[in-house]
A and B are shown apart, each in its own frame.
Chain A
């Protein structure tokens, strides 16, 4: 059952990424680039995602456990440490350079585009480096 749930969750998120055009790096860069043609669409993607998730989250978070798992596995870390700050700044720089964050890049894998595939390969190498090299 967790397998089917995970598949449906990933599928719905990716359908949303595709339908909102966040899968298109040009669309994302239209939001990140502040100029006369600024495109606020991505702000509405975030706002709608937050509205749906937060209302469901706060309704359900009072329960003892999730429906199909023995306990919640949510992150417990609280402190604003150096890896969080430096990592987020680096991530944003890469995002602003090409217009891909991890979800849209992975969702676009079926395009077979060499730019997308090389981005994903470099991102995977980056994940590997981040696990081997602590800051």
Chain B
């Protein structure tokens, strides 16, 4: 387990929770990234705050990169798997009404049975697919 990074994981996770909490306390909304992005694109209702949220999401790594000199991360090679995975993530979070942030952080915190179920299911299929393929 030499790839285990507990401190950055805990601090980063805390910041994810804090960002989501700010949206709840000030605006009363769920910080579900898939729902916000999908509605920003396909619904004219409440588009401006959703686009502002997405601008923040895109700016985040640029800010981290300007503060931490050796910040870098890998990205997937272009392949047909990338297309299939993108379609599955899009259709799946659309039908399932949420992803890791909306169900996994906000929904579980609210003890929502739908979000607890969704998180268990996407964790399960994620582990099965990743473990079988690698």
Residues of A in contact with B (beta carbons under 8 Å apart): 1-27, 29-30, 32-35, 37-42, 44-54, 56-58, 60-61, 65-69, 71-75, 77-80, 83-103, 105-111, 113-116, 118-131, 135
Interface of A is mostly: helix
Tell whether, in the assembled complex, residue A123 and residue B56 are in contact, meaning their CB atoms are under 8 Å apart: no
Task: Fill in one digit per residue for B65-84: 1 if any A CB lies within 8 Å of its CB, else 0.
Answer: 10000010111111101111
* Of B38, B77, B95, the contact of A83 (CB 8 Å cutoff): B95
Q: A93 CA to B96 CA in the complex, in Å?
A: 13
Range of interface residues on B (Cβ < 8 Å): 35 or more
* Of A2, A107, A109, the contact of B49 (CB 8 Å cutoff): A2
Instruction: Identify which of residues 87-114 in chain B touch chain A, using a CB-to-CB cut-off of 8 Å.
Output: 87-97, 99-101, 103-110, 112-114
The interface residues of chain A lying within 8 Å CB-to-CB of B17 are: 16, 48-53, 56
B131 interface residue per 8 A CB criterion: yes
Q: A80 CA to B52 CA in the complex, in Å?
A: 32
Closest 6 CB pairs of A and B: A126-B90, A130-B94, A20-B12, A14-B60, A122-B86, A10-B56
Tell whether, in the assembled complex, residue B49 and residue A60 are in contact, meaning their CB atoms are under 8 Å apart: no
The interface residues of chain B lying within 8 Å CB-to-CB of A83 are: 95-97
The interface residues of chain A lying within 8 Å CB-to-CB of B82 are: 98, 115, 118-119, 122
Tell whether, in the assembled complex, residue A89 and residue B122 are in contact, meaning their CB atoms are under 8 Å apart: yes
Tell whether, in the assembled complex, residue A125 and residue B61 are in contact, meaning their CB atoms are under 8 Å apart: no
For this complex, 5 residue pairs linking A to B, each with C-beta atoms less than 8 Å apart, are A11-B63, A83-B97, A91-B92, A101-B100, A103-B33
- With A49-B14, A86-B95 as known contacts, state yes or no: A23 contacts B61, CB within 8 Å: yes
- With A66-B24, A83-B95, A87-B97 as known contacts, state yes or no: A93 contacts B88, CB within 8 Å: yes
Residues of B in contact with A (beta carbons under 8 Å apart): 1, 3-6, 8-31, 33-34, 36-38, 41-42, 48-50, 52-65, 71, 73-79, 81-97, 99-101, 103-110, 112-114, 117-119, 121-131, 133-134
Tell whether, in the assembled complex, residue B121 and residue A85 are in contact, meaning their CB atoms are under 8 Å apart: yes
Tell whether, in the assembled complex, residue B109 and residue A45 are in contact, meaning their CB atoms are under 8 Å apart: no
The interface residues of chain A lying within 8 Å CB-to-CB of B11 are: 16, 19-20, 48
Tell whether, in the assembled complex, residue B31 and residue A13 are in contact, meaning their CB atoms are under 8 Å apart: yes
Tell whether, in the assembled complex, residue A95 and residue B122 are in contact, meaning their CB atoms are under 8 Å apart: yes
Q: A68 CA to B27 CA in the complex, in Å?
A: 6
The interface residues of chain B lying within 8 Å CB-to-CB of A122 are: 82-87, 90
The interface residues of chain B lying within 8 Å CB-to-CB of A65 are: 28
Tell whether, in the assembled complex, residue B60 and residue A91 are in contact, meaning their CB atoms are under 8 Å apart: no
* Of B49, B63, B86, the contact of A119 (CB 8 Å cutoff): B86
